[in-house]
Structure 1
């Protein structure tokens, strides 16, 4: 690969824009509040789990849930159990405890947040705010609510932090309690959350520099194609067709014409054909060369985005081990946004990494 090329290594649809950010949808900062977006559980040592697990065992993306002792947690695919859609989260303590958690939520300056969630069940449900800014997590607020047999909305205001940082929202049951939870909301005044992941194909607008839906063969006058590269069948992409790349396959085009290193957004759908912990570096969109850029999953399962100069990193935002439990064959959405004030990386709508005041390049290649 020669310097000055934009190399897209992906199985989905790619959009590169000169504008920062994407269209605002609602003020809820949680991208999967009703747990409809799910992914396979990791394989279990004794068998089961993985991509072939029954859909009722799949896990809600962007959330973590776990149980202590005899406790149980699940996101069953059962419309009769859910308040909306097909799924909700079911936590059963069974004399121990079960937990549902979203981490981490960025707070710009110690804002007053509003938290709302719907729940039903028996016993009590707890809602905790945990300061995750420093190495040791510290609980800063806890509420306890009585559960009933009918769906009910629980709402409260909370100031989880006194200054800028990150915090964790945790809902949990203990003792003999049991809860069904759905439609969780968290926000603060003035927040305009991004509408991610999009529910329809990406489109081009006046700010779009490069748009690759992969519905038609690539123009050989504009793209360099090497190795195992092919379009998929009509229903094998995320929306319609997609691009399938083998181990040595890549597609390249001009970086200078299709990417602004000072300000922009890269957005794409992709699907790995091996587990996220396969110890293989997998670039999604990359500009090779001494003045480079990369959006990737690395050999340590980190998800990262940033720029390098003289082959050395100058500005990077990454989430350590974020892809470690990913299973193959799952379409995921990723977006990276940057300007002189802020660099951000989103996966499936969740803000997983950011860097304030990044150092940016003037040229690439």
Structure 2
């Protein structure tokens, strides 16, 4: 076993892999990560699926079958992605059973083109839940303004949710409120609250990328340079503070008494974008109880190799975190503008990846159709 990853797990951090592809499933690679790297969950997103389907020929047979059946590109993408997630859920099922449903989770995202459409997001969340048909699935819904009521409605149906693309503290509070509202509606509808789980994916490294760019555009002062690489971790630490507050309220305690589980903070975007920073910093600096850290494979390997886990790095650092964001405001870097830009760009990036995925699958369907037509002559 890897000591750093075991130490991380022992601190109450669930280690999830931020990657999924068919070869990882069929080769036994995912099972190996569970067995040797303490991996207890998997997250996916449109960018991950686009990369998976563009590499190799692992999907060719299914694409041919879908082409033969006359499926259109949206139907084909739905079938390809849900197939991978279903099999990953099956591999993760023993972890799910062993942890009472807390871990052993696999996430799949609604079509990012629906990020600003509440009703269609709810509709597709239900379709994905039915198609995968596994209790350890999480449906990813973006934390846009329109996503918040969708989160409540999907939770109310008894469907477990991974809320994604959270950047701001205000929006995170809105996410937690949407989660609690959904639980209250589920209770009114007679649902068993103990079967509903949720995580809230708070993005980290992208905050530093945007803030550092703005710091570099300033006059190069020592104060500006000293703040580089600080905002993402500070923002996440303050998010955990908000989580502590919300899940200590009487409103939560009523739900908890009826079997509800806390919506755990999940640290996403934990791969370091700037090579000047330690490649493990978004893991080692965000250790806190009852959290999830979802890592790309490269970050997971880095933590396994040289990560230094020094216990809880969050709950004692709220004042320092607030001081970082205050210092940025004094330099003229608007927190409100930074997080607004990041949310807009986050949705746009996932839409672009989805478009690439659709294009690749459309090309593969066309090739398969042409091959079948040629063979029939």
TM over 0.5: no
- Structure number with the higher helix fraction is 2
TM-score class, shorter: under 0.3
- Structure number with the higher strand fraction is 1
Q: TM-score, normalised by structure 2?
A: 0.24
Q: TM-score, normalised by structure 1?
A: 0.24
